[in-house]
Amino acid sequence: MASVCVIDDQVLLRDSLTQTLTAQEHQVVAFADAQEALLQIRQRPFDIILTDLRMPGMDGVELLREMRRLGLDIPVLLMTAHASIQTAVEAMKLGAFDYIQKPFEADQIGILIERAIRESRMVRENEVMKRTIEDLDLHRVLIGNAPAMKPVLDKIQRVAQSSATVLITGESGTGKELIARAIHAASPRNAASMLACNCAALSPTLLESELFGHEKGAFTGADRLRKGRFELADGGTLLLDEVSEIDTALQAKLLRVLQEREYERVGSSITRRIDVRVIATTNRNLREWSAKARFREDLYYRLSVLPIEVPPLRQRSEDVPLLLDHFVQQTASREGRPRPEFNGDAIQLLCEYGWPGNVRELQNLCERVCVLEAGNTVGPDTIRPLLAGPIQVASAPQPTAASYRDGQLLADAERDLIMKTLRRFNGHRERTATALGIGLRTLGLKIKKWREEGTFEEISARGGNQAVGAGSQPATPQPAVPVLS
């Protein structure tokens, strides 16, 4: 039995299909207008869409195109009495499951529907299996040697062995979901499933049903029993992505599940117990939100038993070359193209950039460069038009051809740039870190490391907050940072 959406502007065919499919024990909802049907398709799950090709207003191809734009991955079967090679090719390019010409037999349409549902389920099962296999290796591809990332990598190993709730915070694009999957892969639950739910993508009513499931007849359109994510993830891990967007009324129900490990499906009075490890992610400051009554304070404390904060890429610029190499190699292998090579100036530019989109922005840039510059040597002139924001060191002296030579070690160039910027700001660490787009702690650790190695002469203290040692004990005069050529 499947849930079928039938769309046709001809009432006789629409009614005939409804009767035929109902007799075949399918649940059928019929529409005369594709635009009206799309509203329902976005609100409720269908196993297959059966639509006419030519209709007034939105036609079948336009409906298919809009569904793909919205990310609605439901098999679509197109019907038409005006078959043509052009429309068939267009429909298949958009991902239509099949193309059937009117008139057709009832048995023929029934066989196609069964095949579409069977293949769709196989695809979903393969995706789950693929993600499970990928999970086992995720902890090996967390790229990062920067001091800012070491606490994160250490925490992953420690919290993975626990079943306590984890709250992963950080800006969009920092890789919070990757951290969550690495925790699951390193945990004793890795043999079970890890499911994810995007809390920002669904309305409160649909999210409640998605999380807890519902009984048949629980609300209009609930024509069959549906298991929720908590039930499906029993024994494994459930990722609540963007948990800050959950409606406050639903937050109370979520709190109960986390505290009592039990819940009820929508429309049911039967209490069910579960064993699920919950990992939540958010790019919000939940402590501030709870102070403003936008997020339950008790739920915040329940979620943040084991907090992990993922630093933005601008605070771990040391990792940019490593991430760059990883994404370029990954994309070139996937696309079957020769990998482009970034010269020293291009890498320096990327290290100086503030990355408002974080690691996701860097990955997207690598994919564009791999496609457009396959096999070429990439310089800064190629990179600059692809960057979304300004270079963070614009207020500091810009490197010139005389400053950095081809083949110079990136670490040496980085130290030279930091020394020049420190000198420009009279040794003021906070202003230097802001200009360079790195964290104050990152800058401090670099200076400490270089001083221990004897490769860095700290600028002379100039009193008050202008000194390099501002915020600590008054610094003793040191030789000034040398002027770099």
For the chain, domain boundaries: 3-119, 139-311, 314-386, 411-466
Q: Would you state the pLDDT for residue 448? A: 81
Q: Which two tokens stand for residue 301?
A: 């404390």
Residues in CB range of 472: below 8 A, 6 or more apart: none
Which CATH number does the domain 314-386 belong to among 1.10.8.60, 1.10.150.120, 1.20.1250.20, 1.10.286.10? Answer: 1.10.8.60
pLDDT for position 99 = 77
The CATH H-level superfamily of 139-311 is P-loop containing nucleotide triphosphate hydrolases (3.40.50.300)
Contact criterion met (CB below 8 Å) for 20 and 12: no
**Strand runs labelled E in 249-312:** 262-263, 272-273, 277-282, 306-309
In this prediction, residue 137 carries a pLDDT of 47
Model pLDDT for residues 144-185, shown as the tens digit of each residue: 888 899 899 889 989 999 999 999 999 999 999 999 999 998
How large is the average pLDDT for residues 330-339? 88
- The answer to whether 209 and 226 have CB atoms below 8 angstroms apart is yes
Q: Which CATH architecture has domain 3-119?
A: 3-Layer(aba) Sandwich (3.40)
Over residues 249-268, mean pLDDT: 92
- How far apart (Å, rounded) are the C-alpha atoms in residues 288 and 107? 60
Tokens representing 283 are 């790019």
Check residue 472 and give its pLDDT: 34
Q: Report the pLDDT averaged over residues 20-48.
A: 87
Amino acid letter for position 399: P
pLDDT digits over 234-251, tens only? 999 999 999 999 998 899
- Residue 478 pLDDT > 70, yes or no? no
High-pLDDT (> 70) share of the chain, %? 83
Average pLDDT for 318-328: 91
**C-alpha angle 68/22/44, rounded to 5°?**
35
What's the half-sphere exposure (Cβ side, CA atoms, 13 Å) at 395? 12
**pLDDT band at residue 410 using 50, 70 and 90 as cut-offs:** low
Rounded CA-CA distance 164/279 in Å is: 9
pLDDT at 456: 58
Mean pLDDT computed over 268-297 = 92
pLDDT for the residue numbered 469: 38
- pLDDT-derived band at 138 (thresholds 50, 70, 90) equals very low
Q: Is the pLDDT of residue 357 over 50?
A: yes
Length of the chain: 485
Q: How far is CA 371 from CA 200, 339, 384, 462, 478, in A?
A: 32, 9, 17, 51, 50
Residue 153 to residue 151: CA distance in whole angstroms: 6
Q: What is the pLDDT of residues 371-400, one digit of tens each?
A: 999 888 999 999 988 887 666 543 333 444
Integer Cα distance of 344 and 342 in angstroms: 7
Q: Give the pLDDT score at 482.
A: 34
**Mean pLDDT (whole number) for 283-288:** 92
314-386 matches 139-311 in CATH topology: no
Q: For the residues 182-196, what does the mean pLDDT come to?
A: 90
Residues 290-314 have pLDDT tens digits of 988 889 999 999 999 999 999 999 9
How confident is residue 350, by pLDDT bands cut at 50, 70 and 90? very high
Query: What pLDDT band is residue 83 in, cutting at 50, 70 and 90?
Result: low
**Structure pTM?**
0.56
Q: Averaged over 270-298, what is the pLDDT?
A: 92
Predicted local distance difference test score (pLDDT) of residue 130: 54
> Residue 133: pLDDT above 60?
no
Mean pLDDT over each residue of the chain, to the nearest integer: 81
Q: What is the mean pLDDT of residues 84-99?
A: 72
Q: What is the pLDDT of residue 261?
A: 92
pLDDT of amino acid 374: 87
